[in-house]
Structure 1
Amino acid sequence: MEGKRKRKLSVAIITFNEEKNIGDCIRSVVSFADEIIVLDSLSTDKTKEIATSFPKVRFLEAPFPGHVEQKNKAISFCQNEWIFSLDADERADEVLQNSIQTFLETDEVHCDGYKIARLTFHLGRWIRYSGWYPQRRYRLFKKANASWIGENPHDFIELKPGSFGKVMKGNILHYSFTDFSHQITTINQFSSIVAYTRYAKGERFSLMKTIIKPLGKFFEIYLFKFGFLDGIPGLWIALASSFSTYLKYAKLYELDQLKIQRPSNIRKDYGKK
């Protein structure tokens, strides 16, 4: 099938201690990738050993300055015009694999990027509401026409002005949390990053926002984004999202009022170029 290809594709993945995920992630893209860039932020587990067992992988290491910065660095190492970007806890499903293969064999492509839906598995089921699906974002794009932007750790691809995008069939399967405890750990870490980033940009603590924003987030997820249709997991997601919002402002209070330098669970290399 590769003899019919009209273009080559790089896959970009960033990692840190992803020995449980990286193998399945690479296996989901190895059939259509011409090269796989794995940019690792100094893992201490078997991530490197597993990743380098795949011949198409080029394994690179660099300190972690932030999600946006690291993902942009990863795509800068890609040698092909088109890039498919994945996190280590994501996989391309069979429909998406076929869609990408068709894209690679198409004579002419009249766009600069493709939005792809992401389907998350959490608390024993696929979450199809709660604002988690389809959550289409650009993931397949021309290197020269796109970059990662956003507020760390909530990053996303943006096409340059004048670029044109389409939607691609298939899903990115997201295995974000092993269980609810893992979700709480992630919420604790990510809320620290958000508070630290916002404080550095000049935002300061607001008691009113600390009270109102978490309540608003719960109703947004559970009612307006139909979280109740996800059953009990939808309720847990809404409550966890509300808690996450509260933590961001509580940690902003620490930075602003208590003058701590950074939340204790942020890596020391975070923010370093």
Structure 2
Amino acid sequence: MLGISIAIITYNEERALADCIRSCEDIADEIVVLDSFSTDGTEAVARAFPKVRFAQHAFDGHVEQKTRAVALCRNEWILALDADERLTPELREEIRALEPGDLDGFRVPRLTFAMGEPVRHSGWYPQRKVRLFRRSRARWAGDNPHDYVVVDGKGGDLRGDLLHHSFRDLADQATRANAFSSIQAFNLLHRGRRFSALAALVRPVVKFLEVYVYKRGFLDGFAGFTIAVNAAYATFLKFAKIYELEARIVDRPSNVRPEYRPQSQEHD
């Protein structure tokens, strides 16, 4: 079996973290939990597991924090997880038996739950993401908060699902959309993006149609409809917040943490 370090970043993940660790601890040599000074019981949950090495660093961006977590790991092979993700037994056994050969990273299909149901359309599945990789041949990249791993070499695909319990309920889903749109607007303004009334009117409608029709969100029932509406809402918020920032109504959205530094350009 590969020697694997598991890297997880956290902030107030007391409710989710234990299930995440239990789903992967038997294939890990170590589990690095990098926390950004949680105010709940996240640290106590993490330290209850013998394989966990717990560290803290102020959060200055998803890409930055996940890069930092990988740097704390001791093994060449890294399995990167979010605290709200779980390995299925099938994925766990697939990783246990893996012989990577000349491959440097593996994409994993991620199955997200919304309103108590697995979402298999709406652009949410299989949503393959590189999560298992050689640290010397891969790096975190992307536009916060939408990070991803770039592999500098050959990649492969695993078949087992990674379960993603991203939202506790619809209120949490809306809160996440609000938070992510703030980070996006903050980044975009600092790159010189300016408010467009036309984009604020048209882009949310286009986003709804993309998710609900083109990506067949209607096949996900009412959950699919709420996903499409929420995506349109988040798109509108992004442009509205660019207006708010450009007009100097606020210096930064109130739900962007003070230590967060805007990206002047996308990490590549």
Whether TM exceeds 0.5 here: the answer is: yes
1:136 maps to: 128
Alignment equivalent of 2:141, drawn from 142, 149, 161: 149
2:235 maps to: 245
Deviations 1:74-116 (A, max 9, x none): 001111010000000001111100111011xx3x522000000
1:88 maps to: 83
1:16 maps to: 11
Residue pair 2:87, 2:163 contacting (<8 A) in 1 also: yes
**Counterpart-to-counterpart distance in 2, 1:172 and 1:252:** 34
Q: Map of 1:199-238 to 2, 5 A cutoff?
A: 199-238=189-228
Deviations 1:16-52 (A, max 9, x none): 0100000000001101000100000001111111101
1:48 maps onto 2:38 in alignment? no
What is the aligned-residue RMSD (CA, Å)?
1.3
Please report how far the alpha carbon of residue 260 of structure 1 lies from its aligned counterpart in structure 2 after TM superposition. 2.2
Alignment equivalent of 1:196, drawn from 186, 191, 204: 186
**Matched residue of 1:28: which SS?**
helix
Q: What is the TM-score of this pair, normalised by structure 2?
A: 0.96
**Matched residue of 1:73: which SS?**
helix
Deviations 1:156-185 (A, max 9, x none): 11112xx01000111110001011011111
1:111 maps onto 2:103 in alignment? yes
**Matched residue of 2:240: which SS?**
helix
**Counterpart-to-counterpart distance in 2, 1:94 and 1:197:** 38
**Counterpart-to-counterpart distance in 2, 1:265 and 1:139:** 28
Residue pair 1:112, 1:165 contacting (<8 A) in 2 also: yes
Residue pair 1:63, 1:272 contacting (<8 A) in 2 also: no
Please report how far the alpha carbon of residue 272 of structure 1 lies from its aligned counterpart in structure 2 after TM superposition. 8.6
**Matched residue of 2:158: which SS?**
strand
**Matched residue of 1:250: which SS?**
helix
User: Unpaired runs of 5+ in structure 1?
Assistant: none
Residue pair 2:186, 2:262 contacting (<8 A) in 1 also: no
Paired residue type of 1:25: C
**Matched residue of 2:161: which SS?**
strand
1:59 maps to: 54
1:127 maps onto 2:106 in alignment? no
Q: What is the TM-score of this pair, normalised by structure 1?
A: 0.94
Please report how far the alpha carbon of residue 259 of structure 1 lies from its aligned counterpart in structure 2 after TM superposition. 4.9
**What is the identity percentage for the equivalent residue pairs of Structure 1 and Structure 2?**
48
**Counterpart-to-counterpart distance in 2, 1:72 and 1:201:** 22
**Counterpart-to-counterpart distance in 1, 2:13 and 2:189:** 29
Paired residue type of 1:88: A
- Greater than 3 Å deviation, 4+ residue runs: none
Residue pair 2:190, 2:262 contacting (<8 A) in 1 also: no
1:79 maps to: 74
Paired residue type of 1:21: A
Residue pair 1:48, 1:59 contacting (<8 A) in 2 also: yes
